[in-house]
């Protein structure tokens, strides 16, 4: 089995072969993601003008040049010197196009975040465990990732549900010379799990089958988005634990829940946590869950955020100045202020609980300081407070005569 660097070496052989052949390929008249003339085209990318874009594994660079001509600021990265040389020879001094010869992982580690990262057929040559952590950091919040990946090869061998590479064949054009290359040919479910683990939400998976009935080749086009905070249903792992996931999701999203949200979290926190599929978020979520029924944990969190708040308040002013006066504010600062705002607005959720128990309009509850707030200031945890409230409201309800 070959390694990733052997695979790049094979692509270098391919690039040198194409340089020697000197064959002039035409510019793209249609954008394809895997099979010529089949499947979605450039329209899935939307309006590109003014966006910072990365073409990952760009080869000859025709896709990247096409987008640069549409007003995007495109960096085209390829690890093979020969492929890079082909691109340089073809697109010297092209406005909006930056050709870089580097391993895509090394490039993403140092680059400023992109609005869009796309890859036409190259992602499966890189180990997802190496690529995805830097890819998540290399995408701006809300930024998109679109990539096509082999799903079934010409022999009819389908994708793997395990995170393992396998050898596939790369034939040098115009010859019968075959070279093995290492590829991660994965099921859509595994791609989705991997993306979610790195804070990206899968938005669409499109099948691209060969139009020839006797050809098994099939690709998938994946469209994902980098999220600031991953929403709760995305946190839950499915697969073998579908039943638990469905039961919890049903209860969580019910129109008429059997109990307030905070009590649901307090009672089912271990089950919810067992489904959490984002390793990097697990510690944070565990703490939040614990703080619902453990007052000491709640106080520790509040103290942490209060201390952070002083720093963040100063940062908030800097961001405001940046917006009003055009002073520069770095990406990290904007990001931390956004997180703080999310934390503060979270308390509004608790106000909704008051109206649930009392049967009042949520807007009225929002207008006053909550009983829960007062109870927690006085040393009671949230779950005990709401259990007392429910017990109290049940005791005062007069049964119909």
Ligand X SMILES: C[S@@+](CC[C@H](N)C(=O)[O-])C[C@H]1O[C@@H](n2cnc3c(N)ncnc32)[C@H](O)[C@@H]1O
State the minimum distance, in angstroms, from the CB of residue 200 to ligand X: 19
Q: Which is nearer to ligand X, 126 or 230 (CB)?
A: 126
State the minimum distance, in angstroms, from the CB of residue 232 to ligand X: 34
State the minimum distance, in angstroms, from the CB of residue 23 to ligand X: 14
Interatomic CA distance for residues 87 and 78, integer angstroms? 10
Burial group, residue 137, by CB count within 10 angstroms (0-12, 13-18, 19+): middle
Q: Which is nearer to ligand X, 8 or 312 (CB)?
A: 8
State the minimum distance, in angstroms, from the CB of residue 147 to ligand X: 10
State the minimum distance, in angstroms, from the CB of residue 83 to ligand X: 4
Residue 315 CA, distance from chain mean position: 26
Q: Which is nearer to ligand X, 102 or 140 (CB)?
A: 102
Q: Which is nearer to ligand X, 10 or 389 (CB)?
A: 10
Q: Which is nearer to ligand X, 66 or 198 (CB)?
A: 66
State the minimum distance, in angstroms, from the CB of residue 304 to ligand X: 39
Q: How many residues can be counted in the chain?
A: 401
Q: Which is nearer to ligand X, 103 or 371 (CB)?
A: 103
State the minimum distance, in angstroms, from the CB of residue 291 to ligand X: 42
Q: Which is nearer to ligand X, 83 or 370 (CB)?
A: 83
**R_g over Cα of the chain:** 26
Q: Which is nearer to ligand X, 84 or 315 (CB)?
A: 84
State the minimum distance, in angstroms, from the CB of residue 101 to ligand X: 9
Where does this chain bind ligand X (CB under 6 A)? Answer: 4, 7-8, 11, 57-60, 77-80, 83, 103-104, 120-122, 125-126
Q: Which is nearer to ligand X, 55 or 372 (CB)?
A: 55
State the minimum distance, in angstroms, from the CB of residue 203 to ligand X: 21
Distances (CA, A) of 18 to 28, 85, 101, 176: 18, 11, 17, 14
């Amino acid at each position: 089995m070959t390694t990733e660097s052997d695979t790049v070496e094979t692509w270098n052989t391919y690039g040198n072969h194409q340089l020697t052949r000197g064959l002039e390929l035409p510019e793209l008249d249609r954008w394809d993601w895997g099979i010529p003339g089949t499947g979605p085209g450039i329209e899935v990318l939307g309006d590109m003008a003014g966006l910072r874009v990365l073409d990952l594994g760009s080869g000859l660079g025709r896709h990247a040049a096409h987008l640069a001509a549409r007003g995007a600021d495109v960096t085209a990265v390829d690890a093979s010197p020969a492929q890079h040389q082909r691109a340089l020879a073809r697109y010297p001094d092209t406005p909006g196009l930056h050709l870089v010869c580097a391993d895509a992982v090394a490039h993403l580690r140092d680059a400023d975040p992109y609005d869009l990262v796309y890859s036409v057929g190259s992602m499966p040559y890189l180990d997802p465990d190496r690529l995805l952590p830097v890819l998540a950091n290399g995408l701006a919040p809300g930024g998109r990732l679109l990539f096509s990946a082999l799903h079934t090869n010409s022999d009819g061998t389908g994708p793997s549900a395990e995170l393992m590479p396998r050898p596939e064949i790369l034939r040098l054009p115009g010859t019968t010379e075959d070279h093995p290359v290492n590829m991660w040919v994965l099921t859509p479910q595994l791609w989705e799990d991997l993306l979610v683990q790195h804070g990206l939400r899968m938005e669409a998976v499109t099948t691209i089958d060969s139009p020839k009935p006797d050809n098994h080749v099939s690709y998938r086009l994946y469209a994902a988005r980098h999220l600031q905070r991953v929403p709760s249903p995305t946190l839950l792992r499915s697969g073998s634990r579908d039943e638990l996931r469905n039961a919890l999701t049903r209860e969580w999203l019910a129109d008429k829940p059997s109990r307030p949200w905070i009590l649901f979290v307090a009672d089912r926190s271990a089950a919810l946590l067992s489904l959490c599929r984002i390793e990097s978020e697990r510690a944070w979520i565990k703490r939040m869950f614990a703080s619902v029924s453990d007052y000491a944990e709640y106080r520790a969190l509040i103290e942490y955020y209060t201390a952070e708040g002083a720093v963040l308040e100063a940062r908030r002013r800097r961001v405001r100045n940046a917006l009003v006066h055009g002073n520069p504010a770095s990406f990290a600062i904007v990001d931390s202020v956004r997180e703080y705002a999310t934390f503060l607005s979270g308390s509004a959720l608790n106000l909704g609980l008051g109206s649930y128990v009392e049967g009042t309009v949520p807007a009225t509850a929002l207008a006053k300081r909550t009983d829960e707030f007062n109870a927690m200031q006085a040393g009671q945890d949230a779950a005990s407070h709401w259990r007392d409230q429910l017990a109290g409201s049940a005791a005062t309800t007069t049964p119909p005569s």
